[in-house]
Chains A and B, each alone.
Chain A
Amino acid sequence: MCAASSSVAGRDGLAVLDAEEVRRALTRIAHEILERTHGGGQVILLGIPTRGVPLARRLAARIGEFEGLEVPCGSLDVTMHRDDLRLRPARALGRTDLPMGGVDGKTIVLVDDVLYSGRTVRAALDALTDLGRPKAVQLAVLVDRGHRELPIRADYVGKNLPTSQREVVRVLLSEVDGQDVVLIGEDGRKP
């Protein structure tokens, strides 16, 4: 889920993960993926736009470095499958970019920056169902901030971050925002 781009009280909020910690978290996740998928064969990394996409690419790059294995990487936009569409004006769609060969029989690792209510991932699972029949679907997130509203859990977590619902978690990535940091801040408005 994209962290809210609404205003954060106080200058940018508190950094809970700096660039170095982000790097280490991703390295660990890459190793975990290789471990649990027994070498990463038949794995496709699909990032959920916006920031899940560069994260997926970084993971693919790491895996490539460690194992010399090219893991196919793409993006899966979930806007059309969201359950909250009717609450707001129609949203612009993000890119869906699937690697050649489809998803049938593959192990899909969905990649996102923040796991919160779980609704985005639910939408992603629905979107995947219409694309084919993967052998398995796993979830990798940089930050798990709790407060699940659906029975969804992540297989790979960069950092567990207990938060209150009044707080806003923002993940900034150099590909999108020019720097790598995870910020937490107060926001008076409901997300």
Chain B
Amino acid sequence: MKRHLISAADLSRADALLILDTAEELASLADRPIKKLPTLRGRTVVNLFFEDSTRTRISFEAAAKRLSADVINFSAKGSSVGKGESLKDTALTLEAMGSDAVVIRHSASGAAHRLAGWVQGSVVNAGDGTHEHPTQALLDAFTIRRRLKGNGTRGAGLDGIRVTIVGDVLHSRVARSNVLLLSTLGAEVTLAAPPTLLPLAVENWPCSVSYDLDCELPKSDVVMMLRVQQERMTAAYFPSVREYSRRYGLDAARMGRLPDHAIVMHPGPMNRGVEIAADVADSVRSTIVEQVANGVTTRMAVLYLLLGGTEFPAVAQ
């Protein structure tokens, strides 16, 4: 029985399609005068955010509220956690208050796993350290499907779609979740990065690897840019921001080498001018803005499927 969504690896192809198809149905809610459904009335969703992330937190909050759930926001700054309260004690406090689901974002890989052992309700991983961010992968898959297969596609996977993920894969939970989910849905995933930013055992992952971004661009239906942090430079992952940008940044010239139908994605927040040029981010190929809207829809689907019934439905494979 699926009680939690902690890793994209927890989802079979059928599970993932169920989430995407449910999101497809919920997408029209945004166009209605009353953007609310009564389905999770009386349920409590706690946003447990130990890392600052206004964007993701608001997305989950909007998703829960549109389903009429009560939302409690807990941010680490200025709370008892700031005074040294442990994750376990925080979890026990939430239990005592009675939460049906906890959405957790934390800087330590594995925090969502640990939390799942201490609470009765459902745990949704909103990003744990450098491990995973499964709802990001789901909204990315949803965005790709809509853009490349049209609105209203139901039951379709991403078979044959070629996705190139570019950047700091080593430290990226978005990359890990996407490699798992997109390949489960049938996409062909390629990672493009300097060798220092790829994990050692990446050859065991369900994707290909390339050090040459220019080589991959003409063959890509989707290019997903990852944020590169300046701090990686001081730890000698690459010599300078300039060199990184020159070799792995997506500028207008590189964008011109993409096939006509190809789209450009970014999980945000962007370093304009480092991994992605401003005019690329603002171009019509860019899905960056609609990824935000799709985030609310996909998260509504996840919350509905986890909390709407007794449990996440067992889907015939």
A and B touch in their complex, CB below 8 angstroms:
yes
- Chain A residues with CB under 8 Å of chain B are 77, 80-81, 85-96, 126, 130-132
Contact status A90-B305, CB under 8 Å: yes
> Could you give 10 example pairs across A and B, Cβ below 8 Å?
A85-B309, A87-B309, A87-B310, A89-B310, A89-B311, A89-B314, A90-B308, A91-B308, A92-B21, A131-B32
Residue of A nearest to B38 (CB): A81
Min CB–CB distance A99 → chain B (angstroms): 13
Tell me if B196 is interfacial: C-beta within 8 Å of chain A.
no
Chain B interface SS verdict (over half)? loop
Tell me if B80 is interfacial: C-beta within 8 Å of chain A.
no
Q: How far is the CA of A92 from the CA of B17 in the complex (A)?
A: 11
Chain A interface SS verdict (over half)? loop
Residue of A nearest to B301 (CB): A93
Q: Which 6 A-B pairs rank lowest in CB-CB distance, beginning with the nearest?
A: A90-B309, A90-B308, A93-B25, A89-B313, A130-B34, A80-B37
- Chain B residues with CB under 8 Å of chain A are 18, 21-22, 25-26, 28, 32-34, 36-39, 154, 304-314
Query: CB < 8 Å: which of B36, B309, B314 contacts A86?
Result: B309
Q: How far is the CA of A116 from the CA of B52 in the complex (A)?
A: 51
Contact status B33-A92, CB under 8 Å: no
Min CB–CB distance A79 → chain B (angstroms): 8
Contact status A92-B313, CB under 8 Å: yes
Across the interface, which residues of A come within 8 angstroms of B311, CB to CB?
Answer: 89-90
Query: CB < 8 Å: which of A87, A88, A92, A130 contacts B22?
Result: A92
Contact status A86-B310, CB under 8 Å: yes
Min CB–CB distance A113 → chain B (angstroms): 21
Min CB–CB distance B142 → chain A (angstroms): 14
Across the interface, which residues of B come within 8 angstroms of A131, CB to CB?
Answer: 32-34
Query: CB < 8 Å: which of A90, A96, A126 contacts B38?
Result: A126
Residue of A nearest to B18 (CB): A92
Across the interface, which residues of B come within 8 angstroms of A87, CB to CB?
Answer: 309-310
Contact status B37-A81, CB under 8 Å: yes
Q: How far is the CA of A130 from the CA of B28 in the complex (A)?
A: 13
Contact status B25-A95, CB under 8 Å: yes
Q: How far is the CA of A89 from the CA of B313 in the complex (A)?
A: 5
Q: How far is the CA of A126 from the CA of B33 in the complex (A)?
A: 14
Q: How far is the CA of A179 from the CA of B41 in the complex (A)?
A: 40
Across the interface, which residues of A come within 8 angstroms of B32, CB to CB?
Answer: 130-131
- Not counting A80-B38, A89-B310, A90-B307, a sample of 16 additional A-B residue pairs whose C-beta atoms are within 8 angstroms of each other reads A80-B308, A81-B39, A86-B309, A88-B309, A90-B305, A90-B308, A90-B309, A90-B310, A92-B21, A92-B22, A93-B22, A95-B25, A95-B154, A130-B32, A130-B36, A131-B32
Contact status B37-A90, CB under 8 Å: no
Min CB–CB distance A114 → chain B (angstroms): 23
Min CB–CB distance A82 → chain B (angstroms): 9
Q: How far is the CA of A92 from the CA of B26 in the complex (A)?
A: 12
Contact status A89-B309, CB under 8 Å: yes
Across the interface, which residues of A come within 8 angstroms of B154, CB to CB?
Answer: 95
Residue of A nearest to B32 (CB): A131
Q: How far is the CA of A95 from the CA of B152 in the complex (A)?
A: 10
Min CB–CB distance A70 → chain B (angstroms): 22
Contact status A91-B33, CB under 8 Å: no
Across the interface, which residues of A come within 8 angstroms of B308, CB to CB?
Answer: 80, 85, 90-91
Across the interface, which residues of B come within 8 angstroms of A89, CB to CB?
Answer: 309-314
Contact status B37-A91, CB under 8 Å: no
